[in-house]
Structure 1
Amino acid sequence: MTPKGDLGRRLVARRLALGLSREETADRAGMAPSYVAHLEQHADAVPGRGALLTLAAALETTVSALTGGDAEVPPGREQAGRAPEFTELSRAECAELLSSHGVGRLAVATELGPTIVPVNYSVVDDAIVFRTARGATPSLADGCPVAFEVDRIDDVFSQGWSVLARGYARTVTDLGEKRRLAERARSKPWAGGRRDLWVRIEPYAVTGRRIAV
């Protein structure tokens, strides 16, 4: 059954991100699997503060993250962790993180100066691809050198990673390639509307960093 409430969706998303089944989550939290199922599947479920704290600890996150209380604030507000370890990521590690797909940040030159915009992207044949609308800021990347960044911030443990790809962008004009990208791309633009312009970035340099505690 598909979860209907915001809490339910966030519970499911977080445990799947950790690779946990519903039973494993319940075991971590000391709860009955049926209760976890109830929270995931019923929009009117209202668990107490104690239950939320227990679930947040079991899922290695915060109550605010589970309930959507931090949806409108940027990540990284917590203090630095003790004895953080800063490491450079290998090209293979960067490629693996990039290929997890999602939302990335495109840095492109415009008439008003450098601009950074978020785009939903996929990785196809080692190239970063995304759809946009003609005339939209991401479409200005055509024929230009660009930078593309993805990251993940974990406020609970004050750690995270970032990957930066630099390369040349071009608009895809071949109909066969467009069809192939449409079949293989994992995500669609969240912005909706008609966005039928495909842009492909061929990275010539990919670097990454990780901060762990």
Structure 2
Amino acid sequence: MSDARGVADPRAKAEGDASAGSDLGRRVAALRSDHGLTVDELAERVGSSPEYIHYVENHPAAPGIGFVTRVADALGSSPAELAGADLDQPPGRAPAARDADLVRLSEHDCRDLVGSHGIGRIGRTDRDGLPVVVPVNYVVTPDGHPAFRTAAGTVVAGAAGETVAFEVDRIDEVTRTGWSVLFVGEAREVYGPAEQQRLDAHSPNSPWAGGPREQWVVLTPKRVTGRLIHRPA
């Protein structure tokens, strides 16, 4: 699916990620594309069949170390890199894709990508006038407002009454694509028990930080913007 500019619909991409092959297969496909090789050409280099290369790229597979080593050699990589041994490193260490471009997203697409809940980053100015950014679990209320369950005295709790920024992103290190969405607006603390109960019921899980977190902060967005790093299919 694509829009009038020929750019793949980011919502379709986000939905398709769950059904894609394994990370190993996606890394093989991305590196093969970077080297300008067809499936047949890679199969010839590694002494395999095109059908098996296609299967590895598009299905969860567990090929032997000999096959992985031959593929890595053919693609100028290493078995460790293909297996994702660098997952504990910050994203963005790979070179930029040659055919990538940056696309601005509509507010509708931004909201679709952010979905109903996840982890993002909230940014505000602290009492010393210095910027501070922290990761936070979020849910999106039925009226489209990001909400955060927190505790008194935290950075998020201190955002109540301030204009803040809230960012959500998804980086695909394999394909060197991704998207980011930014909400800007005023945060408020939720005081009414009825609204607190609705938010509790709407939240699918507890904050990863753990501990008692009974306070809710809701962001009323004044601006929603986003960008997508796109590679033509």
- Shared fold, TM over 0.5: yes
2:131 corresponds in structure 1 to 114
1:79-118 to 2 correspondences below 5 Å: 79-112=95-128, 113-118=130-135
Following the alignment from structure 1 to structure 2, what is the Cα–Cα distance between the partners of residues 93 and 173? 31
Deviation, 1:28, is 3.0
1:144 corresponds in structure 2 to 162
Following the alignment from structure 1 to structure 2, what is the Cα–Cα distance between the partners of residues 146 and 161? 20
**Runs of 4+ residues deviating >2 angstroms:** 16-22, 25-33, 47-54, 69-72
2:193 corresponds in structure 1 to 175
RMSD over equivalenced CA pairs, Å: 3.0
Following the alignment from structure 1 to structure 2, what is the Cα–Cα distance between the partners of residues 101 and 211? 22
- Please, what TM-score do these two structures have when normalized by structure 1? 0.72
Q: Cα–Cα, structure 1 residues 32 and 80, in superposed 2: closer, same or farther, change >3 Å? A: closer
SS in 2 for 1:28: helix
Match among 48, 72, 91 for residue 88 of structure 2: 72
Unpaired segments ≥5 residues, structure 2:
1-15, 26-51, 71-80
1:19 corresponds in structure 2 to 19
Q: Give the counterpart letter for 1:95 in structure 2.
A: R
Deviation, 1:154, is 1.0
User: What is the identity percentage for the equivalent residue pairs of Structure 1 and Structure 2?
Assistant: 41
Following the alignment from structure 2 to structure 1, what is the Cα–Cα distance between the partners of residues 87 and 67? 21
Deviation, 1:83, is 2.0
1:29 corresponds in structure 2 to 56
Per-residue CA deviations over 1:109-145 (Å, capped at 9, x if unaligned) read 1023110000011111201011111101111100100
1:57 corresponds in structure 2 to none
Unpaired segments ≥5 residues, structure 1:
1-15, 40-46, 55-60
Q: Give the counterpart letter for 1:96 in structure 2.
A: D
Confirm or deny: 8 A CA contact 1:53 1:63 kept in the other structure: no
Confirm or deny: 8 A CA contact 2:21 2:57 kept in the other structure: no
Q: How many positions carry a matched residue from both structures?
A: 175
2:140 corresponds in structure 1 to 123
Following the alignment from structure 2 to structure 1, what is the Cα–Cα distance between the partners of residues 228 and 100? 10
Following the alignment from structure 1 to structure 2, what is the Cα–Cα distance between the partners of residues 72 and 184? 32
- Please, what TM-score do these two structures have when normalized by structure 2? 0.66
Deviation, 1:101, is 2.4
1:193 corresponds in structure 2 to 211
Following the alignment from structure 2 to structure 1, what is the Cα–Cα distance between the partners of residues 180 and 133? 16
Confirm or deny: 8 A CA contact 1:104 1:148 kept in the other structure: yes
Following the alignment from structure 2 to structure 1, what is the Cα–Cα distance between the partners of residues 200 and 182? 24
SS in 1 for 2:204: coil
